[in-house]
Structure 1
Amino acid sequence: MFSIRSLLQAWKEIRPYFIFSVILFFAGMVIGGTPNEQLAGFFENQLKGIQSISNSISTSSNPEMTAFKHITLNNVYITIMAMGLGIIAGIMPAFMLVSNGMVMGYLLSGFSAAGENVFLLIVKGLLPHGILELSAVFLGCAYGMRYGITLIKGIFGSAFGKENAWEPFVRTAIGSVPALIAVVVLLLLGAVVESTITYWLMKP
């Protein structure tokens, strides 16, 4: 399971889903960055939740530690949930990627409209931790989508008498164990960076 050969094989199988996860997220960013009054209510509700979290962190006696705990628990919970619930036809991870991408696109569009330097904001406020966290999210969602697809293939393959119809699903389940470890480690590292380096860079 943890041999180099098995890990490379697992990556080969999950790579198309990983790439698709990246595409879904950035497609969501494009949608979110495009003015759309019909989605304004959705975005505002999301921003209220983000603002509430930001306020609780900034008013804490130890903002860095509060940020680390909240970011870690939230990211790990959501990513693992998307990974597991992807078994339902891969819908949950796909929705999570698009919706989060939309919120990100909407935020960046808003900062740009307000005259902010979006490039600097991305470099200072997103890239330091985003590379780690997004890699974990893409990997988790990729496994979630593959779970759903291989489950459907297994069901229909069995129904039509196909031999070894469940092999892809079993391989996905086995490969998800080291992937889950990688997801948690990446999210932990991302939370450390976000609650320290990013917090310091974005401090007024």
Structure 2
Amino acid sequence: MNLRPLLTHFKEMKHYFIVVVLVFGFSFYLGWANSGQYSHFLEGQLAGLKPTINTINASDNPQLWLFVLIFLNNAIKSVVIVFTGLLLGILPLFMIIANGMILGYVLSLQTNGSTLTVVLKGILPHGIIEIPVILIACAYGLKLGMLVWKMGLQVAVPIEKKSARLEIRRILQLTKPLSVGIVILLLFAAIIESTLTYWLVHL
């Protein structure tokens, strides 16, 4: 499998990468600074994870099951979110906003002086891989969504510009190496989170 066309295409995606980083950063700020306003939604998102986490902690090998959960959850969601971009880009945008707000909200709950420790021990080791990969997946989902909008406009008002349909086809051809790259990188992130991060958090 040739990754060069995908890596070359990253240069064309720079504006989308910038947009997803800005949206993620703004969502993080909303979760951090306005946690009370959105607490019901955010606590609902976190509450949905508690039964699974409790089951994992009660198992004979919690680290193994933590790895399985993290890897499957992140890998499946990230690959699927690329293709759901074809639904006008709504779901990738929601994923960026939700993840940013949840991360900001979780950090806002930490007591004074412990936030940096949580970031360094509980987020940075695996997040340095996981967060960029998820944002890249969302960026491609948004790209497909914008192309669908563009295709609709080109049907309604024919214009002599690069066909959005052809560009969608080109992006979809890149989704194979993109999906493989996402899965491999998130596999490494899950290994780090279920070993190094797990160990650091439980020191």
Q: Find the residue that maps to 2:197 and give its secondary structure.
A: helix
Equivalent residue number for residue 171 of structure 1: 170
Contact 2:35 2:105 in 1 (8 A): no
Q: Deviations over 1:133-189 (max 9, x none)?
A: 112101111110001111221232244334541222122112222111111111111
Match for 2:147: what amino acid?
T
Q: Provide the C-alpha distance between the structure 1 equivalents of 2:140 and 2:55, rounded to a whole number of angstroms.
A: 33
Contact 1:93 1:145 in 2 (8 A): yes
Q: Residue 116 and residue 48 in structure 1: after superposition, are their counterparts in 2 closer, same or farther (change >3 A)?
A: farther
Name stretches of at least 5 consecutive residues in structure 2 with no aligned partner.
Answer: none
- How far has the Cα of 1:122 moved from its partner? 0.5
Q: Provide the C-alpha distance between the structure 2 equivalents of 1:143 and 1:3, rounded to a whole number of angstroms.
A: 16
Name stretches of at least 5 consecutive residues in structure 1 with no aligned partner.
Answer: none
Q: Provide the C-alpha distance between the structure 2 equivalents of 1:3 and 1:122, rounded to a whole number of angstroms.
A: 32
TM-score by length of 1: 0.90
Please tell me the root mean square deviation across aligned C-alpha atoms, in Å: 1.8
Query: Which deviates further from its counterpart, 7-16 or 122-131?
Result: 7-16
Q: Provide the C-alpha distance between the structure 2 equivalents of 1:174 and 1:29, rounded to a whole number of angstroms.
A: 32
Equivalent residue number for residue 126 of structure 2: 129
Match for 1:129: what amino acid?
H
Equivalent residue number for residue 49 of structure 1: 48
- How far has the Cα of 1:47 moved from its partner? 2.0
- Pair 1:144 & 2:141 matched: yes
Equivalent residue number for residue 202 of structure 1: 201
Query: Which deviates further from its counterpart, 179-188 or 9-18?
Result: 9-18
- Pair 1:120 & 2:117 matched: yes
Q: Residue 169 and residue 152 in structure 1: after superposition, are their counterparts in 2 closer, same or farther (change >3 A)?
A: same
Q: Residue 146 and residue 59 in structure 1: after superposition, are their counterparts in 2 closer, same or farther (change >3 A)?
A: same
Q: Residue 162 and residue 75 in structure 1: after superposition, are their counterparts in 2 closer, same or farther (change >3 A)?
A: same
Q: Residue 96 and residue 174 in structure 1: after superposition, are their counterparts in 2 closer, same or farther (change >3 A)?
A: same
Q: Provide the C-alpha distance between the structure 2 equivalents of 1:176 and 1:158, rounded to a whole number of angstroms.
A: 25
Match for 2:15: what amino acid?
P
Identity of aligned residues (%): 35
Equivalent residue number for residue 2 of structure 2: 2
- How far has the Cα of 1:20 moved from its partner? 1.4
Q: Deviations over 1:104-135 (max 9, x none)?
A: 10110111xx2352112101110111111112
Q: Find the residue that maps to 1:89 and give its secondary structure.
A: coil
Query: Which deviates further from its counterpart, 141-150 or 165-174?
Result: 165-174
Q: Provide the C-alpha distance between the structure 1 equivalents of 2:60 and 2:113, rounded to a whole number of angstroms.
A: 29
Equivalent residue number for residue 32 of structure 1: 31
Q: Provide the C-alpha distance between the structure 2 equivalents of 1:130 and 1:31, rounded to a whole number of angstroms.
A: 20
5 Å-filtered alignment, 1:146-161, equals 146-161=143-158
Q: Provide the C-alpha distance between the structure 1 equivalents of 2:2 and 2:11, rounded to a whole number of angstroms.
A: 15
Match for 2:129: what amino acid?
L
- Say how many residue pairs are matched: 201
